[in-house]
Every structure is written in C-alpha cells, then in structure tokens.
C-alpha cells in the first residue's frame, strides 16, 4: 500500500511538472554526455599512449665526420666505439630494458632511406658520407628512456640520443587539453543540472503543500513525505543518464568502430564495451546528483 502510494505520488509529480522534468532529463543528458566523453577521451589517450609508445624507438646517433658538436671532436665513430656502444645496450646494466636484437643502421642504409623520403631530390647534393649511422633500440618499458639514454649518452662516438616519443608529445598534449575542456564543460552542466533539479523539486513541493501538511498531521515520517520528491528527481536524472550512455555508445559504435577504424585502421580505438563500463557510473552520478539536490531543497518545504 505504501509503495503504491509513493509510486503514485511520483507519477503525479512528474505529470504536474512535465516541462520541468523534461528539462531535467535534457540537461542531465547533456552534462553526463560531457562527463562520459571526458572519461572516454582519456581512455582513448591511454590506449594511444600504450600502443604508440610501444612501437617507437630510441635512436642513438653516432658521430659523423666534421661534426661541430664537442662530443664528436675526435671525428667519425670508430668500429671499436660502435662495438662498445652495442655492448652497453645488449649486455650492460640497461640490457634488461632493451628489446633484442639491437638494430644498427649504417650511413649507406640511412642514405638510401633518406632518398625514399626525398623523392623530389630537394637535397640532391647530400651524400652517404654526410649521413649518421645509428643504433635503433626498442625498449621493454618506453617510460625508462632516460635510464637507457644516460647509459650511452657521453660515450665516445655518440652524438645524440633521441626518443621518438617526442613526435607524439604535441598530440597527447592536445588530447589531454580536450579532456580538460570536456571535463570543465561537464562541471558547468552538472551544476546547471543540480540547480534545475532543485527548482523542479521546489515547485513540486510547493504545488503539493496541502497534501504534505495533511501527511504531517496524520503522523507520516519525514522520510515518507520526502521520498516521492526525491524519486521524481532521481527518475528524471536517470533517464538523462541512460540517454547519455546510449548516445555515447552509438557514437563509439558507428563513428569510431565503423567509420574511423575503416579510415585509419592502425589506431587502437575504444570500443562499445568501454562505454558499457562507463555507463553504469553515469547512472550512479545522476542518482547521486538528484539525491543531493533533493536533500538541499526538501528540508525547507517538507519540514515536520
């Protein structure tokens, strides 16, 4: 009987304030879409970082002839110096961080590769003697670049050590900035959702002030009086959260999995299953927002 009464009151409240309830649904939908998008963007960034950082190499460039750098004052790296550098990478203290085998690229090989990129002969005057030989190293843990670099940097015959992760640093900075922007917009929209839920519940409580007074007079508990109002906000917010989850799933399923994966297949994209992991938390956040907004409002209008 009590459950039927509560559900009836919830339906009556939603019907009386249908416009405001719809506004709560839409604002919650938009705000939680931003929240979910921020979380999924960060998940995508983490996927890209793990995938691309695992593919990049550390390049140990050896001293060329007539180099202006002080560490190459002795001139071209000798075979003995090259052997010492290889030994440090393969058998030294950092060998456990280096994937085997260590690839050596001679000056002739570097020149042939350069010619492939310079198809229009923009640098036709360059010769193989002007190129740099190098060791190309993949790391078992790309985050340990500085450890490996410090082990060979300063050795005789080493000109410079470069980490290819620098190529992606700008991209990841941009993606992280987009995550922050999405999170900021989500925070603003969540505040708007809380204020709107508060207003909706206030109007609902004011419109049923007579019924509330009667319930207080017959001895109804404060929880029984407040519960229908709380459920009204929770139902509207939950509908918005479900819509947000569905929208994010459709976007990931048809934009990322179907379209982008076909256009750029070498990227490890997030999947619909990732959205299904995030969606329940959106519902939890929606219900929590509704409860907080309800408790902040109902104390004044349903005071026993």
The answer to whether residues 146 and 162 touch, using CB atoms and an 8 Å cutoff, is no
Residue range 104-128: mean pLDDT, rounded: 73
Please tell me the pTM assigned to this model: 0.62
- What the block records as the tokens of 57 is 């190499």
Residue 168 is predicted with a pLDDT of 66
- Which range (210-214, 267-271, 288-292) has the least confidence? 210-214
Question: How many other C-beta atoms can be found within 10 angstroms of the C-beta atom of residue 48?
Answer: 18
Whether 175 and 234 map to the same domain: the answer is yes
Q: Say yes or no: 183 and 158 in one domain.
A: no
Query: What confidence tens digit (pLDDT) does each residue in 135-173 have?
Result: 888 888 777 778 888 888 878 888 888 876 766 667 667
In this structure, the answer to whether residues 66 and 203 fall within a common structural domain is no
pLDDT band at 239 (very low <50, low <70, confident <90, very high): confident
Q: Assess whether 12 and 34 both reside in one domain.
A: yes
User: Number of helices and strands (H, E) in the chain?
Assistant: 10, 4
**Between these two residues, 247 and 260, which has the higher pLDDT value?**
247
Minimum mean pLDDT range among 91-100, 115-124, 207-216, 266-275: 207-216
Between CA 147 and CA 93 the distance in angstroms is 10
Stretch 281-297: mean pLDDT, rounded? Answer: 82
Range of the domain at 96: 57-164
Mean predicted lDDT score pLDDT of the chain: 76
Nearest to residue 231, comparing CAs of 200, 210, 207, 191?
A: 200
* 122, 141, 164 - which closes a domain: 164
Confidence (pLDDT) at 304 = 43
Digit-coded pLDDT (tens) for 20-49? 677 778 888 888 888 888 888 888 877 777
Confidence at residue 1, expressed as pLDDT on a 0 to 100 scale: 42
- How much of the chain, in percent, has pLDDT values that exceed 90? 5
Give the integer Cα–Cα distance in Å for 85 and 99: 15
Q: Identify the pLDDT of residue 193.
A: 75
Say yes or no: 115 and 242 in one domain: no
Q: Yes or no: say if 251 and 26 are a contact pair by the CB < 8 Å rule.
A: no
Q: What is the pLDDT of residue 280?
A: 92
Q: Specify the DSSP element, H or E, that contains 79.
A: helix 79-91
Instruction: State pLDDT tens for residues 194-212.
Output: 777 777 767 666 655 555 5
For the chain, the domain total comes to 2
In DSSP terms, 139 is beta-bridged to 98
178 and 290 share a domain? yes
Residue 246 scores a pLDDT above 90: yes
Separation CA 278–CA 75 (nearest Å): 58
Strands (E), 126-174: 134-137, 158-163
Residue percentage of the chain with pLDDT more than 70: 72
Tell me, yes or no, whether 22 and 67 share the same domain: no
Quick check: 4 pLDDT over 70?
no
Indicate if the alpha-carbon torsion angle 75, 79, 83, 84 is positive or negative: negative
pLDDT, tens only, 127-142? 777 788 888 888 887 7
Q: Say yes or no: 64 and 194 in one domain.
A: no
């Amino acid at each position: 009987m009590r459950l039927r009464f509560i559900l009836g009151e919830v339906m009556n409240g939603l019907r009386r304030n249908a416009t405001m309830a719809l506004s709560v649904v839409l604002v919650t939908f938009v705000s939680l879409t931003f929240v979910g998008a921020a979380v999924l963007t960060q998940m995508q960034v983490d996927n890209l970082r793990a995938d691309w950082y695992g593919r990049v190499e550390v390049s140990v460039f050896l001293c060329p002839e007539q180099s202006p750098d002080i560490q190459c004052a002795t001139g071209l790296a000798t075979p003995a110096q090259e052997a010492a550098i290889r030994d440090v990478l393969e058998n030294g203290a950092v060998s456990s961080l280096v994937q085997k085998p260590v690839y050596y690229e001679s000056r002739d090989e570097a020149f042939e590769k350069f010619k492939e990129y310079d198809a229009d002969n923009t640098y036709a005057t360059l010769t193989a003697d002007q190129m740099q030989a190098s060791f190309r190293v993949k790391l078992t843990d790309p985050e340990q670049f500085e450890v490996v670099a410090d082990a060979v940097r300063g050795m005789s015959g080493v000109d410079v050590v470069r980490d290819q992760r620098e190529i992606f640093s700008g991209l990841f900075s941009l993606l992280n900035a987009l995550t922050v922007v999405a999170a900021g917009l989500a925070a603003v929209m969540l505040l708007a959702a809380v204020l709107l839920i508060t207003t909706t519940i206030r109007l609902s409580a004011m419109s049923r002030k007579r019924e509330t007074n009667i319930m207080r007079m017959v001895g109804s508990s404060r929880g029984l009086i407040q519960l229908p109002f709380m459920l009204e906000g929770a139902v509207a917010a939950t509908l918005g959260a479900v819509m947000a989850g569905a929208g994010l799933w459709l976007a990931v399923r048809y934009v990322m999995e179907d379209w982008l994966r076909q256009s750029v297949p070498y990227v490890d994209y997030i999947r619909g299953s990732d959205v299904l992991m995030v969606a329940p938390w959106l519902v939890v956040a929606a219900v929590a927002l509704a409860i907080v907004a309800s408790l902040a409002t109902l104390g004044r209008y349903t005071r026993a």
